[in-house]
Amino acid sequence: MKLILASNSPRRKQLLEDAGYKFDIIVGDYDEKAFTDNPVITAKTFSLGKAQATFSILKDKNVLVLGADTVVYYNGKILGKAKTEKEAFETLSELSGKTHKVITGYALLGEFGKKQGYVETEVEFNRLSKKLINEYIESGLYKGKAGSYGIQDGFPLVKCYKGSLNNVIGLPIETLKPIIDELMK
């Protein structure tokens, strides 16, 4: 059985490689626009949609397709990926000094059916100066990231977190590894 990652995320790719997996990256066409206000439902729906979109285009069905989606949730709303520097500035300013949740939904699909779940981590931000926020935005590292940040980017944005660091990066590999290993047997 072959493992397929249904994501172009360099962070997810790196986490899977670091866990020792050999896999292909194949991304089907999935529209992430129809989300709800519920971060768990959104993350699980998107992860399953991504996995199904990839599984449906594969000729060889002797595969295990992994779909994942990470959302940042604060103050009753999902904070998506910033489209502009202004949006990134607003998001990072809003998170400054506050605690938010990072939820990654995952879906594993194969001929066996599907396995789904999610992991949630609490993240507390440092109080961020406008100067630090602007330096981070100027680095371009906010692009393509839920909540407009990456905990791994080398900037002192995060004060502390409770839960999985890998989840905040984009893939809770410590939760997924035993499931993947069992399904790949």
Q: Which listed residue (29, 37, 69, 153) is catalytic?
A: 69
Write the single-letter amino acid at 145: K
Query: Which tokens sit at 185?
Result: 């047997």
In whole angstroms, what is the distance from residue 128 CA to residue 92 CA?
Answer: 8
In whole angstroms, what is the distance from residue 116 CA to residue 179 CA?
Answer: 10
* 31 included as an active-site residue: no
Give the residue numbers annotated as catalytic, written as ranges: 69
